[in-house]
Structure formats: C-alpha cells, structure tokens
Amino acid sequence: MATDYHHGARTIEINEGSRLPTTVSSAVIGVVCTANDADPAVFPLNTPVLLTDIYSGLAKAGSSGTLAATLDAIADQANPLTIVVRVEDAASEAETTSNIIGGMIDGRYTGMKALLTAQARLQLRPRILAVPGRDNLAVATELVGIAQKLRAFAYVSAWGCETKEAAAAYRENFGQREIMVIWPDFVNWDTAQNASQTALATAYAIGLRAKIDEEQGWHKVLSNESVNGVSGISRDVFWDLQDPATDAGYLNAHEVTTLVQHGGFRFWGSRTCDENKLFLFENYTRTAQILADTMAESHSWAVDKPLHKNLIRDILAGINAKGRDWVAQGFLLGFNAWIDESVNTKDTLKTAKLRIDYDYTPVPPLEDLTLRQRITDSYLIDFAARVTA
C-alpha cells in the first residue's frame, strides 16, 4: 500500500476473489518397456520420455522386447500423452526384472523409479501405469508402490497363471486400492510373423483407460468398453450376461478383471484389490486421486497469503464451485466443502495452519442389474371390451 504524499487520484489493484480449481490431467500413461534395438536418441535407457504422438514413437521403437507391441496396443485405442521408460533387456529374466524395478545409480533413478522424475522433467505426472509383458510378481508389487507415490493406478497381469483358479489365487498377493489384476491376455495378428500371437492385455487396458478418460471421464470404469485391435482371447473364458456361475463370474467375484467377447472384445470387471473395500471399484480410487491432486495443486496461489477471512472465503468458494461443476457433469454424485471450527482453533490459526474439510460421493458403476419379470392375467380382464372398442 503506497503511503507517500500524493495530491491527486490513484488506482490500487486488489486482486482477490475465488479461483476455480483446474482438474489435473488424468489420461497420462506411464509404461516401462524393453527394446534393445530401439533408437537410443529417442528412447535413452532409464529416462522418462514423453510421446505426444504414439505413431512417431513406434517408428523408433525397434522390434525386440515389449516397447513396440505396447505402443501399438495403446495406439489402437487412442493417441494419449505417454511417458516411456526403456530399460535394458538382459541375458536372464532375473537381471531384466532388476533392471525394470530399478533403483538409484550415480544420483539418478533407474527402471520404473524413473517415472517418479517425470513431473520434474516433463511437467506431467503419469497416472495410468503398466509394465506390459514383464509384470511378474516382483515387478507388480514394486509398481503398485510407484502408483501410490504418484497417486496413479496400475494394471497388472495375473502373471504365469494358466487357469482361472490360479488367477484368483494370484490376486491375493495384493491388498492395495491402486491396482487391478487382469487375466488372461488377448490375441491379435502379428504382421511380422504372419500368424496370430498373444497380445498383452495390460497394454490394451492402459490405452483404453486413457481413451475413456478423454471421451467420457475418470468416473467411468474400464469394464464393458469395446477394445480395438484384437481378434481373440488367449484362454477360454466362459461368460454369460445372465448367469453368475461362469468363469467370468468366478474371476470377478475374486476381484480379477477378465476378457469376454460380446459385441466385440471387452474387459469385464471393475474391482481393485483394496483390502478395506472402501475403494473397491477402479473409478473410486481414481476419483479420490483426481480430487486430491486437483484441490492441492490448484491452491498453490493461496500459500503464504495473509490468513484473513476473505482468503478463506475465496478458497471455499472456489472449491465448492469446482465440486458443483463435477456434480453437474456427472463425475460426482455430491460434494461439499466447509470450515470446521473445532480444528481451526486460535492455537492452530496463529501458527499459520488452516484446515478445510470437504466430502464427496463417487459414482458407483452399475455392476449388478436385476430385472424382475412377472406373469399376470390382469390384462385379460377387459380384453373383450378392448376388442370391440
């Protein structure tokens, strides 16, 4: 505030008012792949690389390892922002697993841990994660830890499982809300081999997930959406829309997402591995993540501002406006933010701490639709009258 002497008029800008939070980008894929013959200038080892055009990346992805097949599966669904970390395909499976898991070498993160540096390097956070074709149990358990750190969601295969019972047992290795187990894989045509081959379901899952985010929203689950670019399923999966006593019903009951053919090939199942069952659906977890990051990241402007009532009113107004917008668009069923006097005491406020509460209700997927059919003769009562009318 100017305090020097002035004889005249002046204008002082007071820039206050509510700010509508901007929803964070949700359709950003993060993959870890192998390809020893990929162009090292485009895909340097252990470095997160942003692809804004999947097809341009495919041209440099080589033909060995999992990179080209993964990018091709994503491109069949959409052309989302994709962050790739390429690791070396070693002589043994064990060495390759270590390369994928990664660590810290000379002050740099390697393997999947390099995804943690994407925000700083690329100004983007990967939120849809997979290690297609190489996600054995050791890799999968590490990947879910990366997903938690990034507030992302991981899609993994039921590694090495030949039967639905084995897949159900494999799912018991996880208890986190940030992971979905998928079994079996798809089949597609390999133009290089001129034959059908196994197509990695997790690669198609992340591409489809990004497509759904862009076209419908993060509140819609992966299940029951047509998958492009596949022509079969790698294992027989018995499925019937009206009968729960099927292979697909068994897998879904054990929180494993499976694959079915129904008007095209589709993922079937939307459950996470959450042991607490509070975030039992994929979209529940992703809703919580998107809301948390949107609210936090959109309020950096308020940090270190003078803590007076107008600031608090502006923050609340912006948060509630964003909540109403999400509800109006169908992303949430309800939302409300408020100040709780019991936690915002004089002691906390004088130490520069403000606590704002908000609650929300995510949109549940319609998983179990029951149509109740009745036979009745009531429509025969006035049948003759209606005939002669």
Q: Average pLDDT over the chain, rounded to whole?
A: 94
Domain range spanning residue 372?
Answer: 1-21+308-389
At 107, is the pLDDT very low, low, confident or very high (cuts 50, 70, 90)? very high
Residues 147 and 79 in one domain: yes
Structure tokens at 292: 């948390």
Domain end point (choices 248, 268, 284): 284
Residues 316 and 257 in one domain: no
The answer to whether the beta carbons of residues 299 and 21 sit under 8 Å apart is: yes
Residues 375 and 226 in one domain: no
Q: Is the pLDDT of residue 2 over 70?
A: no
Residues 192 and 98 in one domain: yes
Q: Which residues pair with 281 in a beta bridge?
A: 271
Q: Which pLDDT score is estimated for 7?
A: 58
Q: Which pLDDT score is estimated for 192?
A: 76
Residues 277 and 131 in one domain: yes
Q: Is the pLDDT of residue 363 over 80?
A: yes
At 341, is the pLDDT very low, low, confident or very high (cuts 50, 70, 90)? very high
The pTM (predicted TM-score) of the whole model is 0.93
Which residues fall within 8 angstroms of residue 95, CB to CB, at 6 or more apart? none
Q: Is the pLDDT of residue 114 over 70?
A: yes
DSSP E strands in 140-192: the ranges are 153-157, 179-182, 186-190
Q: Which pLDDT score is estimated for 123?
A: 94
**285-309: pLDDT as tens digits:** 999 999 999 999 999 989 999 999 9
Q: What is the dihedral of CA 227, 231, 236, 241, to 10 degrees?
A: 40
**233-243: pLDDT as tens digits:** 999 999 999 99
